[in-house]
Amino acid sequence: MDSKTRDTLITLFKDKLNEAMRFYLETCTRCGLCVEACHVYASMGNVKYIAAYRHEIVRRIYKKYFKGRGKLWPSVGEAKELTDMALEELYEAAYSCTGCRRCMLYCPFGIDTQMLMSIAKLLLIGASAEPEILTMLADTSIEKGKSIKLFKKGFLAGVSNLEADVVKKWKIKAGKTAIPVDVKGADLLYVALAGAHSIVPAAAIFNAAGENWTLSFFEAVNFGAFVGDPTKTKLILDRIINEAKRLKVKEVCICECGTAYRVMKQVSGGQPFKVSSITEVHARYIREGRITLNKSTFKHGVTYHDPCQIARNGGIFDEPRFILTHLTDDFREMSPDPRYNWCCGGGGGLVALGEDTLDFRMKSSKVKVDQVKETGATILATACENCHTQLSNLNDHYTMSMEVRFLSSMVADALVH
């Protein structure tokens, strides 16, 4: 690594050093309580996947450049120089961590591995050593925000095709727009993912609830967050914030995408709209009597995987369970407690990296498979695209013979209309 790159990385590191980050970097007592917390270590048994081990890779660089002892006498402080080899270690630590924060629950000091790995990811970006595909996808999203006119026509044509599905399957009244787009003064802006699975069931439920809603031109997924680039994360987010303000909506509803929900929720303070996950909105419709579900639609055992970014990191535990009590008489909770739920192993950009990470994702999520199998359920529901893909991959790989479902699609299928 040349000295110019190293200086750039040191500056990037320094900019991340707020009070919380310094606390995380200086507090670990190596008590070992986080050892069994990580699904990767629990599944694969390699020490490099212990949370504290991952921290140490970042911490040693911190000691080298930001602590007096490391600067003067590196071997005593276990300080480590920023080299190409150090970058490889940072990559291994950051892209084998899903940012699920299960380890944080076990740490007596609440050391946040996701935050420490955000330093690792930022240094990788600074050295152009991040997964290139994630940066390319983030750039594409940003470009789309700049030139919406170019794709508007194609988007509307695609939506029009989906409308036919909604009208046919859910018998929407003639003359009513089944999927409204770009409606000023709508109460709710729905931010979906690309694809019918994210739009069609949601549209059916909004219509059944009589919601005054509109679909967003922009997709929810934030590849800037996956790659750990704060500037790109914000630019991608701003597209949605500006759209919500332009349309003057009261609520922004994020589809089944955990990371999109977490990043949007983080910046929701001070905005003229509230931010909800689609799971919260569906639970509200049931509570208010705006939709009714047929409880006998799913007769055989149903279990639910809590997406880490929505449950542990977003605080939404009760709503999916409330919905499930209206979908089935046979809901089977996983063990242990949902707060300690095992990560599915697909977050942190791993699913977005596709086949490249498939082998690792399958091996590192064995504990998740065991946890699901113990329920004896036949349907595995979840409320996040990443989790759904990863759980479907696990279902195939481990021949679990389950049906992996989006919770929203189950709600749509159970609508009484």
Binding site for ligand SF4 (CB under 6 A): 28-34, 37-38, 40, 51-52, 54-55, 97-103, 106-107, 109, 111, 113-114, 343
What is the distance between the terminal CA atoms of the chain, rounded to a whole angstrom?
64
Smaller CB distance to ligand SF4: residue 106 or 217?
106
To the nearest whole angstrom, how small is the minimum distance from the Cβ of residue 408 to ligand SF4?
25
Nearest-approach distance from CB 173 to ligand SF4, in angstroms: 47
With the C-alpha atoms ordered 177, 181, 184, 190, is the resulting torsion angle positive or negative?
Answer: positive
* Amino acid identity for residue 1 in this structure: M
C-alpha to C-alpha distance for 11 and 402, rounded to whole angstroms: 49
Give alpha helix (H) positions in 309-383: 318-325, 355-363, 366-373
Cβ 109 to ligand SF4 shortest distance, Å: 5
Closer residue to ligand SF4, CB minimum distance, 37 or 179: 37
CB nearer to ligand SF4: give 23 or 322: 23
What are the φ and ψ backbone dihedral angles of 111, each rounded to 5 degrees? -65, 130
CA 279 – CA 292 distance, rounded (Å): 15
Q: What are phi and psi of 252, to 5 degrees?
A: -110, 120
Q: How many CB atoms lie within 10 A of CB 225?
A: 27
Q: Pick the closer one to ligand SF4 by CB: 113 or 141.
A: 113
Evaluate the omega torsion of the peptide bond into residue 131 and state whether it is cis, within 30 degrees of 0: no
Q: Which is nearer to ligand SF4, 200 or 334 (by Cβ)?
A: 334
Environment class of 338 (CB within 10 Å of its CB; exposed 0-12, middle 13-18, buried 19+):
middle
C-beta of 329 vs 337, nearer to ligand SF4: 337
- Please give the Cα distance from 244 to 190 (Å, whole number): 10
For ligand SF4, the closer CB: 106 or 406: 106
Structure tokens at 97: 């961590």
Distance of CA 215 to the CA centre of its chain: 20
Neighbours of 46 (CB within 10 A): 12
Q: Give whichever of 27 and 140 is closer to ligand SF4, judged by the CB atom.
A: 27
- What are the structure tokens assigned to 117, written together? 């790995």
Least Cβ distance, residue 226 to ligand SF4 (angstroms): 14
Distance of closest approach, residue 39 Cβ to ligand SF4, in angstroms? 6
Give least dist CB 27 to ligand SF4, A. Answer: 7
- The CA distance from 48 to 188, in Å, is 45
CB of 51 to ligand SF4, least distance (A): 4
Taking the complex as a whole, the smallest distance from the CB of residue 187 to ligand SF4 amounts, in Å, to: 36
